[in-house]
Structure 1
Amino acid sequence: MLSHLKSRSMTITLLFLAAIMAAYASTVSAADSPVAAPVAAPQVVARVNGVPIYNSDLAPSVEKRIAQYRQLGSKANTDELRKRFQLKELDGLIARELLVQAGASLDSKDIEQRIEKRLAGSSAGKDGQKSRSEEQLAATKAKLRRNILIDDYLESRGLLNPKIDDQELRRFYDKNRQSFHEPKTVKASHILVMIPKNATPEQEKEAWSKAEKILAELKQGQDFTQLAKQNSDCSSKANGGDLGFIKQGFMPKEFDDAAFKLKPGEISGIVKTGYGLHIIRVSEVRPEGVRSFDEVKTFIAGYMRTDYQREKVEELVRELKKSARIEVLIN
């Protein structure tokens, strides 16, 4: 299914980001006081060619992974999870540091200008800078510098925006054609008149009267979109009742039974569901079938680009590790 490939593509992207592009913790300054309390030296968890990686960088990414694991329902001991994720997350930070150092070796000349440009275009731009301390701004710039160095190195290896040949895209499509199978869908809009829960006979009668009045107005040629905006009890009223393309099972059975019998341009009678009373219009029908190559080409290119980039970056990191001095100071 196309949704499965999208899910897999997203998973690959998340893993790539977690392993290679981990975020940085902000620097923290000691509080001002006449006699400053002694500050413990930051814990070094690894060194890459003499450059330290601190626990203040590692700990937040480990805790984030633990939180994600908890959301999936894991009841494992927190200390066990922390031990499981520590080395994996540290490996990602080591990989990132290797890529930063490789980018620095290229000796790019316009890094400061590019930092300022990215800063101006971000949420921490000129307005944001006014409310940020010098230390916060310095940390943001340091992070941008590292990102630029990695981008430069990946670009030098043809991996920043790798191009996938059209023939490769076509081969992927032909090999996975059934993954692009789509069921019949209809582009539907509706006007909903809600019936309150535990409605009295009078309330239900009032809802039916309102729906019948709207249906009569539609039969007289009034505009469906405008009537939906004026009368519908569904949030889709803001878009004239438009629900987009839906497949069977997305809406209640009674709704589906009516909508999937309509031809483009037709309007249903009043359809009762557990939500209330619907008047449905179908504007387009897409029959069941396999989506064409042109329809999915952009998606395939993005999917293959991400997969290709992940594999090649992992290869680069393995090569960089061979000539690097890496000390891991935790176990």
Structure 2
Amino acid sequence: MKLRMLCWLLACGVSLASANNEPVAARVNGEAISEFRLERYFAEYLEDQGRAVASIRNPKAYKQLRQAALDALIDKELLWQESRKRGIEIDEQAVRAQVEQTRQALGGAEKFRRRLQDAGFDEASFSEYTRRELAAQQVFAELSRVDAPDEKQVRAFFAEHRAEMGTPEQVQARHILVKVAEDADAATIEAARLRLMQMRAAISQGQDFASVAQSGSEDASASQGGALGYFARGQMVAPFDAAAFALKPGELSDAVRTPFGWHLIFVENHLEAADVPELQGLETVRAYLARQQQTQARRQVLAQLRAQNRIERIDDD
């Protein structure tokens, strides 16, 4: 079980013996998923997507996301119930090991005890909840098991996509920017160019490009000495792109005009395009196709379980 899920169980505060009078969000074959459980899980669901409840201003988007979170809880309940039907048993050693992992991740026995208490668990009920999650994961893995990708399919996919898998031609560069608006008058444009050329002259006379960029560039990269890292063709605006790829390592450009202003470009390295080695490419394709097959199999398993079981979604009403 993933540590994040274990921490969610503690944060969630959902015990196995939920109160009968709690508002219910859904029932799976009569087993209730409480609104409280949904609320706690919804916050975690949004956090995984880098969002917060307060940031969702569109009521329709809010409802769709909440329904997706409820779908996930329903799937968890379906898998747990399926594990019971199939008689899957998780041995005590596996449960104890998982609980111990959580205890250590949370900072030791005392912090673990407080978190359990705050969440409404004791160690026995948390161990039982851990057992349920492990059983659900095991049945999901068994039901969605797939064979390795067919080798002919792997080789055909690799042949079709090999060019995309290689490393494109790239340059590593720094730049200095003197900003000037596109619609500026001729005198302003020329004054900006002259400022840039003064910096170029200083660099040509031996001053360090990065130091001049730090003091003179008006781009956000100035604090890094104008460093842009590596970039491939087409990632920069056309005039900048053309100038950078025309330079050899160690060469300094003339003034380059773009919609942002005047640039001075210094190329530090130039990497030619490289084809992916066949063995590496085939292994990458095998892993990719295996993930695709696994994802499809998991979707099919969940769709089948939803179709075969009785689900009542009260929260949607």
Query: Could you say if the C-alpha distance between residues 119 and 313 of structure 1 is closer, same or farther in structure 2, counting changes exceeding 3 Å?
Result: farther
* Greater shift in the superposed pair: 260-269 or 132-141: 132-141
Does residue 113 of the first structure (1) align with residue 119 of the second (2)? Answer: no
Aligned residues of 1:170 and 1:293 also touching (Cα < 8 A):
no
Query: Could you say if the C-alpha distance between residues 294 and 191 of structure 1 is closer, same or farther in structure 2, counting changes exceeding 3 Å?
Result: farther
Query: Could you say if the C-alpha distance between residues 78 and 149 of structure 1 is closer, same or farther in structure 2, counting changes exceeding 3 Å?
Result: closer
The offset of 1:111, in angstroms, is: 1.9
CA distance in 1: counterparts of 2:208 and 2:226, whole angstroms = 12
The offset of 1:280, in angstroms, is: 0.8
Find the counterpart in structure 2 of residue 8 from structure 1: none
Query: Could you say if the C-alpha distance between residues 197 and 120 of structure 1 is closer, same or farther in structure 2, counting changes exceeding 3 Å?
Result: farther
Query: Could you say if the C-alpha distance between residues 144 and 250 of structure 1 is closer, same or farther in structure 2, counting changes exceeding 3 Å?
Result: farther
Find the counterpart in structure 1 of residue 23 from structure 2: 42
CA distance in 2: counterparts of 1:233 and 1:129, whole angstroms = 51
CA distance in 2: counterparts of 1:43 and 1:206, whole angstroms = 70
Q: Which of 5, 26, 34 is the matching residue for 1:54?
A: 34
- Cα deviation, 1:293-324, whole Å, max 9, x if unaligned, reads 467567545533422322343465578789x8
Find the counterpart in structure 2 of residue 274 from structure 1: 259
Query: Could you say if the C-alpha distance between residues 157 and 278 of structure 1 is closer, same or farther in structure 2, counting changes exceeding 3 Å?
Result: same
Aligned residues of 1:103 and 1:149 also touching (Cα < 8 A):
no
The offset of 1:91, in angstroms, is: 5.0
Q: Unpaired runs of 5+ in structure 1?
A: 1-22, 30-37
What is the number of residues matched between the two proteins?
291
Find the counterpart in structure 1 of residue 12 from structure 2: 26
Correspondence 1:77-116 to 2 at 5 A: 92-98=75-81, 101=84, 105-116=89-100
CA distance in 1: counterparts of 2:140 and 2:287, whole angstroms = 17
CA distance in 2: counterparts of 1:216 and 1:198, whole angstroms = 27
Q: Which of 227, 246, 252 is the matching residue for 1:261?
A: 246
Aligned residues of 2:80 and 2:133 also touching (Cα < 8 A):
no
Aligned residues of 2:177 and 2:217 also touching (Cα < 8 A):
yes
Q: Unpaired runs of 5+ in structure 2?
A: 1-7
Q: Which of 192, 199, 217 is the matching residue for 2:202?
A: 217
Find the counterpart in structure 2 of residue 12 from structure 1: none
Aligned residues of 1:163 and 1:305 also touching (Cα < 8 A):
yes
The offset of 1:52, in angstroms, is: 3.7
Q: Which of 223, 227, 231 is the matching residue for 2:212?
A: 227
Secondary structure in 1 aligned to 2:240? helix
CA distance in 2: counterparts of 1:178 and 1:216, whole angstroms = 42
Correspondence 1:1-331 to 2 at 5 A: 26-27=12-13, 40-43=21-24, 45-47=26-28, 51-58=31-38, 92-98=75-81, 101=84, 105-121=89-105, 124-126=106-108, 132=115, 134-136=117-119, 138=121, 147-152=133-138, 169-177=154-162, 179-180=164-165, 184-195=169-180, 207-286=192-271, 291-293=276-278, 300=285, 302-314=287-299, 326-330=309-313
Seq. identity, % = 22
The offset of 1:268, in angstroms, is: 0.6
The offset of 1:120, in angstroms, is: 3.3
Aligned residues of 2:13 and 2:121 also touching (Cα < 8 A):
no
The offset of 1:193, in angstroms, is: 3.0
Aligned residues of 2:240 and 2:258 also touching (Cα < 8 A):
yes
Aligned residues of 1:27 and 1:139 also touching (Cα < 8 A):
no
CA distance in 2: counterparts of 1:238 and 1:259, whole angstroms = 21
Aligned residues of 2:27 and 2:33 also touching (Cα < 8 A):
yes
What TM-score results when the alignment is normalised by the length of structure 1?
0.60
Aligned residues of 1:103 and 1:150 also touching (Cα < 8 A):
no
What TM-score results when the alignment is normalised by the length of structure 2?
0.62
The offset of 1:328, in angstroms, is: 2.0
Aligned residues of 1:45 and 1:54 also touching (Cα < 8 A):
yes
